[in-house]
Chain A
Amino acid sequence: MAIIEAQEITKVYSLGDIDVNALTGVSLAIEKGEFVGIMGPSGSGKSTFMNILGCLDKPTSGKYLLENIDISDLNRDKLAAIRNKKIGFVFQGFNLLPRMSALENVELPMLYDGISAKERKENALEALKKVGLEDRGYHHPNQLSGGQQQRVAIARALVNNAPIIFADEPTGNLDTKTSVEIMKILVDLNTQSNITVILVTHEDNIAAYSRRIIKFLDGSVISDEIR
């Protein structure tokens, strides 16, 4: 059974009189435990699609089932709960809170899940350990390298044991060596913890980590192949 099922998803951005058709009817299904690469040129709708799958945005039309739940029926707070429990995000720009330590950044999803302070700290330390940053918990983002910041973001994405991780160009701001380290962590999470990873990238060598590659062009899927 598919963990993600998109049916005829469209997204239209209205900019005054012009309508931008960012997605023109995308249908696909992703099984639990898959490692999917989404590729395509800039502006082809990859991020738009991923944000809809990540419940950060709503489609203009179409149906999206996440673990068989129809997302279009849910209100803001229900969507927030799904993002909290089912989804982890890793963005190109890391998106850490600058005034908080690495540890506090990792604790953030648990803060909104009503978990006690003690348990939050334990879980956050454990998550930092998984990404090899257990000794950097009290560093602030500006005291960490790009690769380390991205690892904090990954720790935050996995700390609530979310079954799905969305990564939008996670290595876009990193050098090749660091990119390889980040990709290795994502691959390990996929193979060892059976986390479904959906990775957006336009780099072939990064996409090479995926078993399935979906290609986008002008808002629709032009190829979907398993290697």
Chain B
Amino acid sequence: MINIPSTFRISFRALKVNKMRSALTMLGIIIGVAAVITMLAVGTGASRKISEQISSIGSNLLIILPGATTSGGVRMVVGAQPTLTISDADAIKKECNAVSDVAPVLNGVAQVVYGHQNWSTGITGTTPSMLIVRDWPLASGRSFADRDVRSATKVCLLGQTVVDGLFGDIDPIGQIIRIKKIPFIVIGVLAKKGQSPQGHDQDDNIYVPVTTAQKKLFGTPFPGMVRIIMVKAKSTEALAPAEKQMNDLLRQRHRIGQKQENDFNVRNLTQMMQVAEQSARVMTLLLGSIASISLLVGGIGIMNIMLVSVTERTREIGIRMSVGAKTWDIRLQFIIEAVTLSLIGGIAGIVLGVSGSKALGILAGWPTIVSPLAVFLSFGFSGLVGVFFGFYPAYKASLFNPIDALRHE
């Protein structure tokens, strides 16, 4: 019955009369919406980055470290005692049916030379399974084979950063590099992986057969020792059973008695990262809700101005009532006025919030992501704020006694 488009036109004109006042009122909503969008962009960007890191370390990944977390009440440094061996890794692969693949790791740092180029980098001795466990494809060449591990051949795979540092534009496949002065043939280059969750460059690394690392590069206090064992469970659901099976197997292999503590430590990296992702999501929500408080404050600003406006325009309300405006005609007029204010403010806030997020991304280097949902939500929310905070002034106006309103000076 009430004519919405012409009511919009009327309210638009009413707002134009007090341009400065309308603009200042909108400012609250503009800042609120911009804050919501920016905060959500920061939070979403952080969670996205963490998910990317989760997939970069490899899915369904478990890591076994030597040493107990506590020993006789004394906290020990994890990895302090050299207890894991290649045969532990082989046993896990053979006996634990929740495990899909296993890669033992013996690593260290070494000086690498190619021609006149020098590069100090991480060296990881491992088995071909590493690439499967870490979901890490080759960019070129081939991986080393089980045969290379058995006979401790001097072959290596290079990470992208090492290739850039040593070779520049030269194709490294087939070239000979010296690691600790020992010559190695480059047989493959790994695809770019990027930063690890701890923030170090995963591509600044060289992979060699684990046996070669043990015998020729680093040496071991006892035969077959490795620093860590990486394990890929068959599925996310298999992570827990795999952890249990490995626990039982290693306790048995290491002859650990009923009351004794483990001399190894199983870490569920995927789970740890998921916890981090979860907390990033909670942070997003928190940032968003804090920002929406400023949107609420903006709404209170609208209510304030609408109350002033209703009082100032009492006579206009009286005139409208005298020619037949009903309760909801008056209410809608003022609600629509409040909604017009908040929606225009919302649009300006979206523009400001989106460009603010982009600027944060560029200037501060934060991985901000503006999701369409966040834009849609904050626009809808600003409209709701208009309806909610416009209602009371509108309600007040609609209850005026016609003759009193008409006589109002």
Instruction: Give chain A's interface residues, CB within 8 Å of chain B.
Output: 51, 54, 56-57, 76-77, 80-81, 83-85, 89, 91, 95-97, 99, 108-109, 111-114, 117, 156, 160
Residues of B363-406 whose CB lies within 8 A of A: 401-403, 406
Q: Is B3 in contact with A111, judged by CB distance below 8 angstroms?
A: yes
Chain B's nearest CB lies how many Å from the CB of A177? 27
> With contacts A99-B13, A99-B17 known, is A109 near B324, CB below 8 A?
yes
Given A56-B402, A76-B327, A109-B323, 17 additional A-B pairs, CB 8 A: A51-B403, A56-B403, A57-B402, A77-B327, A83-B321, A89-B322, A89-B323, A96-B319, A97-B316, A99-B14, A108-B323, A109-B324, A111-B3, A112-B323, A113-B324, A117-B6, A160-B324
| Chain B residues in the interface with A (C-beta under 8 A) | 1-3, 6, 13-14, 17, 315-316, 318-327, 329, 401-403, 406
Among residues of A, the one whose C-beta sits closest to the C-beta of B319 is A95
Q: Could you say which residues of chain A place their CB within 8 Å of the CB of B401? A: 57
Chain B contact residues, majority secondary structure:
helix
Contact yes or no, A156 B6, CB < 8 A: no
Partner of B324, one of A57, A80, A97: A80
Which B residues are in CB contact (< 8 Å) with A89? 322-323
Find out whether the CB atom of A156 lies under 8 angstroms from the CB atom of B324. no
A111–B6 contact, CB under 8 A?
yes
Question: How far is it, in angstroms, between the C-alpha of A90 and the C-alpha of B43 when the chains are bound?
Answer: 62
Q: Which residues of A contact B319 (CB under 8 A)?
A: 95-97, 108
Q: Are A108 and B402 in contact (CB under 8 A)?
A: no
Contacts of B324 in A (CB 8 A): 80-81, 83-85, 109, 112-113, 160
Inter-chain CA distance A206–B60, complex, in Å, is 97
Nearest opposing residue in chain B for A115, CB measure: B3
B17 contacts A108, C-beta separation under 8 Å: no
CA distance A96 to B327 in the complex (A): 20
* Residue numbers in A under 8 Å from B320 (CB-CB): 97, 108, 112
Give chain B residues whose Cβ lies under 8 Å from the Cβ of A54: 322
> B325, A95: Cβ atoms under 8 Å?
no
In the assembly, what is the distance between CA of A57 and CA of B401, in Å? Answer: 8
Take A111-B3, A114-B1 as given contacts and tell me if A80 and B325 are in contact as well, using a CB distance cutoff of 8 Å. Answer: yes
**Complex A-B: 29 CB contacts under 8 Å:** A54-B322, A56-B321, A56-B322, A56-B406, A57-B401, A76-B326, A80-B325, A80-B326, A81-B324, A81-B326, A83-B322, A83-B324, A85-B324, A95-B319, A96-B319, A97-B316, A97-B319, A97-B320, A109-B323, A109-B324, A111-B3, A111-B6, A112-B2, A112-B323, A112-B325, A114-B1, A114-B3, A117-B6, A160-B324
B3: chain A residues at CB < 8 Å are 111, 114, 117
Q: Are A95 and B322 in contact (CB under 8 A)?
A: yes
- Quick check: A112 and B327 within 8 Å, CB to CB? no
Taken together as a complex, chains A and B put the C-alpha atoms of A83 and B324 apart, in Å, by: 5
Question: In the complex, what distance in Å separates the CA atom of A21 from the CA atom of B327?
Answer: 30
Q: How long is the Cα–Cα vector from A160 to B322 in the complex, in angstroms?
A: 13
Please indicate the chain B residues that have their CB under 8 angstroms from the CB of A156 in the complex: 323
State the Cβ distance, B263 to closest chain A Cβ, in Å.
84
B323 touches A84 (CB 8 A): yes
Q: Which residues of A contact B402 (CB under 8 A)?
A: 56-57, 83
Q: A101 CA to B183 CA in the complex, in Å?
A: 94
Chain B residue numbers with a CB within 8 Å of A85 are 324
Residues in chain A near residue B327, CB distance under 8 A: 76-77, 80
Which residues in A have their C-beta under 8 angstroms from that of B316? 97
CA distance A24 to B276 in the complex (A): 81
List the A residue with the shortest CB-CB distance to B402: A56
* Contacting residues, chain B, for A111 (C-beta < 8 A): 3, 6
The CA-CA distance from A95 to B322 in the complex, in Å, is: 10
Contact in complex: B326, A57 (CB < 8 Å): no
Contact A112 B329 (CB under 8 A): yes
Q: How far is the CB of B184 from chain A (nearest CB, A)?
A: 85
Chain B residues, CB < 8 A from A57: 401-403
CB distance from A84 to the nearest CB of B (A): 2
In the complex the two chains form, what is the Cα distance from A148 to B190 in whole Å?
A: 89
User: Complex formed: what's the CA distance from A105 to B248 in Å?
Assistant: 89
Minimum distance in angstroms from A159 CB to a CB of chain B: 9
In the assembled complex, the CB of B311 is this many whole angstroms from the nearest CB of chain A, namely 17
Instruction: Give the distance in Å from the alpha carbon of A77 to the alpha carbon of B327 in the complex.
Output: 6
Q: Which residues of the partner chain B approach A80 to less than 8 Å between Cβ atoms?
A: 321, 324-327
B111 vs chain A, min Cβ distance (A): 83
Bound complex: CA of A84 vs CA of B2, how far in Å?
14
Nearest A residue to B398 via CB reads: A76
Shortest Cβ gap from A64 to chain B (Å) = 15
Alpha-carbon separation in the docked complex, A66 to B119 (Å): 103
Q: How far is the CA of A51 from the CA of B401 in the complex (A)?
A: 12
Q: Which residues of chain B are within 8 angstroms of A160 by Cβ–Cβ distance? A: 324
Enumerate the 4 nearest inter-chain pairs by beta-carbon distance, A residue then B residue, closest first: A84-B324, A112-B324, A56-B403, A109-B323
Question: How many angstroms between the C-alpha atoms of A156 and B324 in the bound complex?
Answer: 12
Chain B residue nearest to A80 (CB atoms) is B326
Contact residues in A for B14 (Cβ distance below 8 Å): 99
Chain B residue contacts of A97, Cβ below 8 A: 316, 319-320
